[in-house]
Structure 1
Amino acid sequence: MKKIGIIFGGRSGEHSISLMSAASVIRAINKDKFQIVKIGITKEGKWLLYDGDADHVEDGTWQEEAEKALKENPDKYNITILGAGGKSIKELIDFALPILHGPYGEDGTVQGLLEMADIPYGGCGITGSAIAMDKLIAREIFMRAGIPVCKHIAVFKEELDNDFQKTIEKIEENLPYPVFVKPANMGSSVGITKAKSNEELKHALKEAMKYDRRLIIEEYINCRELETAVVGNFYAEAAAVGEILPSAEFYDYEAKYFDGGKSKICIPADIPQKTADEIREIAVKAYKLIDCAGFSRVDFFLEKETNKIYLNEINTIPGFTKFSMFPLLWEEAGVSCPDIIERIVELGYERYHAKDNR
């Protein structure tokens, strides 16, 4: 039986979402085929071995239990990633499944550690993870490939620190209100604000700078929010297209995870088949373009007035919570959550063994 290391938590602002996703994966994974090894990362970056219940992963109490177990039995619970100082993760697991959202996990950093430790893992490699996480770089690549993206400009913290007012003026000269202000490296709508005025823009920039020194200022599009789920390595396929009907003005962090199910997910989206096929085609093209692997969720805007499609972003470790689009899209296609997890593991091994042919 393969020992699958579920890695969760992490240092990013999406720590709590990672806990929710990981708990769902732990509950769903086929226990007859896989032995689960739970590895948590605290907000401070400490790696802990945890052998308790999934419910305690979700509510965050896993950390206290894991730290207590480590103190009482260091020989069993002291672990290390690389080098000495404890039992190596490579000894504990056969395969890693990072369920980490945002920086320090979804951005290629943990993938690099697993590559160095020679541990096969699920999902995108270093390159695909890093590019998809960095929305500025990803958009440059998409634009060069002729994939439509929203009009946007980049702003850097150093610019704002040097001359905040001049930077505001630059934004206002290039984009009309309202605008969206986003950290370049973040997910789950963390740090994103819709600004309708000069004062709101100032506040939005300060909020986004809490999460990144590189920001995207993006034009507002009167649109529908559509998503599809892609699975595969070189040969990838997209599931159906789903639509988000947010409970808030846009699909922000609260609307995604903490509105008690008021936001609605429509699967399949009520759009023409031709539009759905085009979205799925663009999703796979973009996925392969930045060297994604394993699985991802690809997000789009569909402009209401023109039906023009815009690629928003690729999420290389999409949410697996009960509100999450990725597993729901594949369930609609007849693929259960345990089966899609098993497929992700298979694809991880496929990618790992492909290196033997180099």
Structure 2
Amino acid sequence: MSQSAVPSRQSAVPVPAAGSGGTRKPRVAVVFGGRSGEHTISCATAAGVLSAIDRDRFDVVPVGITPAGQWVLVDDDPGALALSDDRPPVQITAEGLGRGELTVRPGGGPGAALILSATSGPAALGEVDVVLPLLHGPYGEDGTLQGMLEMLSIPYVGCGVLASAAGMDKQVTKVLLNAAGIPTAPHVVVTPRRWVGDRELILDACESLDYPLFVKPARAGSSLGITKVERREDLQGAIEVARRVDPKVLVESGVLGREIEVAVLGGRDGGAPRVAEPGEIVMDAAHGAGEFYDYQTKYLAHDAVQMVCPARITPAERELIMATASAAFDALGGEGLMRVDFFLTPRGEAVVNEVNTMPGFTPFSMYPYMWRVSGMGYTELVTELIDLALERPRDVNR
């Protein structure tokens, strides 16, 4: 399916409401920005999706959430949202990219559409049939937004409340995956209470892990706050760095292995999850790659990373990784989409590093790239995700 042409700057305007005398395309609220430290990455994801969404199939309302939590109408201008290393990070504000604050209310009953109203400009923007939440990190990817939409009986793209919350918390992810027999890296959990009262015991416990250690916030993404630690003397400082992002921290054993990622897509009509060809992250230090797949390497040092898909692995390794990704999706109760990241060890073991219930959709992101290699283009993928959301039963007893 070819990518639809999008004007360089198209203002968001009302469309005919249901029952106004004409047929109406499904109306999609593309929601992005948010209160987390991944605000800019969310805007970049929205830039990609707004450029690719099929305008012949859907009407689109771009909705930004400011760092303060305001919902604002945003111009339909992907270029203004794209990530660039030659300008300041994009941030949604009511006075900047925003075109007026929105109020959100349900349409009046189970299955009814969401209604957006503006405090300035058009008094009512009409109904929205489905929400496409492109929020990364807390207050969006972690089940909070999903819970609000469930209470309003509004269809939305992606995982539900439980899977979103479990996938956001790396410790909970490990517990659920391990219970399903899926291996993850050994770790030590650092909670605020234990860090204040048992600091030396925590540092001693970390000595049971294999160096190098990776210290990371338990509930964050985009490699924010992650430090590679080679010796105990640097461990306390690395934990403090991670605590600035999230007070709950994980210290993990380093796992020797190739970094393999797998894109999983929900099945149709109750069918099994669909799994794309695995891809491999290959980093080139000569072109600016860090010691691991950190924020700079992931989003800005484009020449430093090669995304190899299909991954150059054996048929047996491919089968193992794809089956394990599908099992991880089911173990967490996944819906819609999920990216499962692995370490493939020299012994052929597939160790799950983490999962992402709303993986990036930037032009450099692995999730859409793996599906493109597998035969599903960007626009087709976005359409499939929206259709899955519209078809998914929504019931208080589900």
Q: Same fold (TM over 0.5)?
A: yes
Moved more, 180-189 or 229-238: 229-238
In structure 2, the residue matched to 1:131 is 166
**2:187 maps to 1:152:** yes
The one of 23, 29, 49 equivalent to 1:5 is: 29
**2:160 maps to 1:119:** no
1:10-66: CA deviation from partner (whole Å, max 9, x where unpaired): 111111110111110000001111111011011121111112411222362653334
Correspondence 1:290-309 to 2 at 5 A: 290-304=332-346, 306-309=347-350
TM superposition score normalised by structure 2:
0.82
Which residue identity does 1:28 align to in structure 2?
A: A
Contact 1:50–1:65 (Cα < 8 Å) also in 2: no
Which residue identity does 1:176 align to in structure 2?
A: D
Contact 1:49–1:79 (Cα < 8 Å) also in 2: no
| Structure 2 unaligned regions, length at least 5 | 1-24, 84-89, 108-114, 119-123, 284-288
In structure 2, the residue matched to 1:165 is 200
**2:65 maps to 1:23:** no
Moved more, 340-349 or 160-169: 160-169
1:283 deviates by: 0.5
The one of 224, 241, 246 equivalent to 2:278 is: 241
Structure 2 counterpart SS, 1:103: coil
Which residue identity does 1:347 align to in structure 2?
A: L
In structure 1, the residue matched to 2:96 is 65
Contact 1:183–1:208 (Cα < 8 Å) also in 2: yes
1:290-309: CA deviation from partner (whole Å, max 9, x where unpaired): 111011111100113x2221
2: CA distance between counterparts of 1:110 and 1:348? 15
**2:375 maps to 1:334:** yes
1:354 deviates by: 5.4
Contact 1:182–1:192 (Cα < 8 Å) also in 2: yes
The alignment covers a number of residue pairs equal to 347
1:199 deviates by: 2.7
1:163 deviates by: 4.2
The one of 262, 280, 283 equivalent to 2:322 is: 280
2: CA distance between counterparts of 1:356 and 1:201? 46
Structure 1 residues 182 and 90, CA gap change in structure 2 (3 angstroms): farther
1:190 deviates by: 1.0
**2:125 maps to 1:79:** no
| Structure 1 unaligned regions, length at least 5 | 71-76
The one of 264, 281, 287 equivalent to 1:230 is: 264
In structure 1, the residue matched to 2:252 is 218
In structure 1, the residue matched to 2:360 is 319
Structure 2 counterpart SS, 1:320: coil
1: CA distance between counterparts of 2:303 and 2:143? 31
**2:246 maps to 1:209:** no
1: CA distance between counterparts of 2:198 and 2:161? 35
Percent identity reads 39
Which residue identity does 2:252 align to in structure 1?
A: E
RMSD: 2.2
Structure 1 counterpart SS, 2:41: helix
The one of 27, 30, 50 equivalent to 2:74 is: 50
In structure 1, the residue matched to 2:297 is 255
1:153 deviates by: 1.6
Structure 1 counterpart SS, 2:204: helix
Correspondence 1:339-354 to 2 at 5 A: 339-351=380-392, 353=393
Structure 1 counterpart SS, 2:302: coil
Structure 2 counterpart SS, 1:261: helix
Contact 1:52–1:62 (Cα < 8 Å) also in 2: no
1:226-271: CA deviation from partner (whole Å, max 9, x where unpaired): 0010111442110001000132211111110011331111001110
TM superposition score normalised by structure 1:
0.91
Structure 2 counterpart SS, 1:240: coil
Contact 2:309–2:370 (Cα < 8 Å) also in 1: yes
Moved more, 51-60 or 269-278: 51-60
Contact 1:6–1:38 (Cα < 8 Å) also in 2: yes
Which residue identity does 1:223 align to in structure 2?
A: G
1: CA distance between counterparts of 2:396 and 2:220? 34
Which residue identity does 2:335 align to in structure 1?
A: A
Contact 2:343–2:353 (Cα < 8 Å) also in 1: yes
1:314 deviates by: 1.4
